[in-house]
Amino acid sequence: MTEDPALAIYAANADTMARRYDSVTTDRILTGLTDLIPPPPAPVLDIGAGSGRDTAWFQSHGHAVTAAEPVAAFREMIARRVPAATVVNTALPDLAGLTGRYGLILVNAVWHHLDPADRTLALGRLADLLTQDGRVFLALRRGPVPPGAPLHDLDPETEIVRAKAAGLQLLRRHDAPAHDAETAAAGIGWTWLALGKDTAR
């Protein structure tokens, strides 16, 4: 899967990136959303799980976590760190091989790697994989894109409309600052969208 330029970068720098991801806590990252997390034990899908920081947090809070991660070095870290988690080699937008239903689907700092057409496809897959009362937590990167970097600046309003078309309605929008000084200096922030199945459909 390393023909994707973003995945090639992650694969080549997995250890350095993992240290950066682990410099922030999941408690801090999910501030503003914790009351929307389903009670344990819920099936949780952590897409683009990276170092496994959030996988570990959900597993330690009594959930049954599946980590979907296309980069082998990250999958190995997650498997070592969270032996009870299920670790799957798959990627957005198709999430091939995933057939379960999840009460919480976490997509943390991944969406900006997808082009608009893939975001539309991916939202359809997320809707299919969600239980009737489940939630999607989607973190959108806002801020400048370095020239040539394989990522997109995201407009929350556009993603909300895209989600609605896929049958997912907005439960909450939470604008969060950068996680660390480096990204703050680069003008990067995050908008979380909490989404649920559109019951009017």
Ligand X SMILES: C[S@@+](CC[C@H](N)C(=O)[O-])C[C@H]1O[C@@H](n2cnc3c(N)ncnc32)[C@H](O)[C@@H]1O
Binding site for ligand X (CB under 6 A): 6-7, 10, 21, 47-50, 53, 69-71, 74, 91-92, 108-110, 113
What is d(CA 103, CA 23) in angstroms, rounded to the nearest whole number?
27
Name which of 10 and 192 has its Cβ closer to ligand X. 10
**Residue ranges with strand state E in the chain:** 43-47, 64-68, 86-88, 102-107, 130-142, 168-176, 189-197
**Token digits of residue 38:** 């389903």
Residue 28's nearest CA partner among 185, 196, 183, 178 is 178
Q: How far is the CB of 31 from ligand X (least distance, A)?
A: 14
Number of helical H runs and strand E runs in the chain: 8, 7
Work out how close the CB of 199 gets to ligand X at its nearest, in angstroms, rounded to a whole number.
28
Judged by beta carbon, residue 6 or residue 105, the one nearer ligand X is 6
CB-nearer residue toward ligand X: 69 or 159: 69
Least Cβ distance, residue 123 to ligand X (angstroms): 13
103 vs 141, which CB is nearer to ligand X?
141
